[in-house]
């Protein structure tokens, strides 16, 4: 079947895209308002996009009224944000934080979460998160009804038990987002297969080689 997005509604296109581009990591973004209220919300239009410098991107849509979400307003006003990664024990709290709380009501209280200070930015991280990334805003770009925020990662916070030799990350299984509106996945079922070089491929495909 071929589906032309120009012939579909925005809701159907969103459903198709978010059910087909899977799994997606979840950025549990903490920000602070000009008055100091800490906002927390999950976004799955998120990924790492650069390593020198270290860049991540988070795409934030509009609220149901068609205006900017608290996260977007706070990032634009403060120039910073924290990406906290969601592991399974934090799912219920993450789900609560996705509700449409008013701007002056912090999701932290409802989700029974605590904050911990960051090193380089004012915005706090989530104390219970096993991984948090301090980010300074690099750029913001309007993409239709979404705002794409690119942040430079300026500090990693990683639970000690996740760090193995030579900074190898072990036993870290964040949740992923699958289909819209509420399907998720675990990342515990894995396999590890080494990449081959072109020379190895040539050797494996020599004429007459079984």
Tens digit of each residue's pLDDT (9 = 90 or more) over 127-169 = 999 999 999 999 999 999 999 999 999 999 999 999 999 999 9
Angle at CA of residue 192, ends 186 and 197, nearest 5°: 140
The band of 64, judged by pLDDT with boundaries at 50, 70 and 90, is confident
Long-range contacts of 89-96 (CB under 8 A, 24+ apart): 89/128, 90/28, 90/126, 90/128, 90/129, 91/175, 91/184, 93/128, 94/26, 94/28, 94/42
Q: What is the residue whose two structure tokens read 């149901």?
A: 64
Residue 116: its pLDDT value, please? 98
Give the architecture (CATH level 2) of 5-204: Roll (2.30)
The pTM is what? 0.93
Q: What is the mean pLDDT of the chain?
A: 95
DSSP 145-188: TEEEEEEEEEEEEE-GGGB-GGG-B-S--B-EE-STTT-EE-S-
Cα–Cα distance for residue pair 145/167, rounded to 1 Å? 39
**Is the distance from CB of 74 to CB of 32 less than 8 angstroms?**
yes
* Residue-range domain boundaries for the chain: 5-204
For range 29-34, the mean pLDDT: 96
Residue 210: its pLDDT value, please? 66
Residue 104: its pLDDT value, please? 87
For range 12-23, the mean pLDDT: 94
């Amino acid at each position: 079947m071929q589906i032309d997005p120009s012939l579909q509604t925005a809701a159907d296109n969103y459903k198709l895209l978010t059910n087909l581009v899977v799994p997606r990591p979840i950025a549990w973004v903490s920000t602070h308002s000009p008055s100091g209220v800490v906002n927390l919300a999950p976004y799955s239009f998120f990924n790492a996009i650069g390593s020198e410098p270290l860049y991540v991107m988070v795409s934030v849509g509009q609220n149901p009224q068609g205006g900017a979400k608290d996260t977007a307003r706070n990032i634009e006003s403060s120039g910073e944000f924290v990406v906290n990664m969601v592991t399974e024990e934090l799912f219920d709290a993450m789900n609560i934080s996705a509700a449409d709380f008013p701007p002056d009501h912090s999701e932290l209280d409802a989700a029974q979460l605590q904050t911990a200070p960051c090193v380089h930015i004012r915005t706090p991280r989530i104390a219970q998160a096993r991984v948090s990334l301090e980010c300074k805003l690099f750029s913001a770009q309007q993409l239709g009804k979404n705002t794409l925020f690119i942040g430079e990662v300026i500090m990693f916070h990683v639970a000690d038990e996740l760090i193995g030799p030579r900074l190898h990350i072990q036993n870290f299984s964040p949740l992923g987002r699958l289909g819209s509106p509420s399907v998720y996945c675990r990342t515990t079922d894995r396999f590890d297969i080494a990449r081959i070089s072109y020379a190895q491929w040539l050797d494996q495909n020599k004429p007459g080689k079984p």
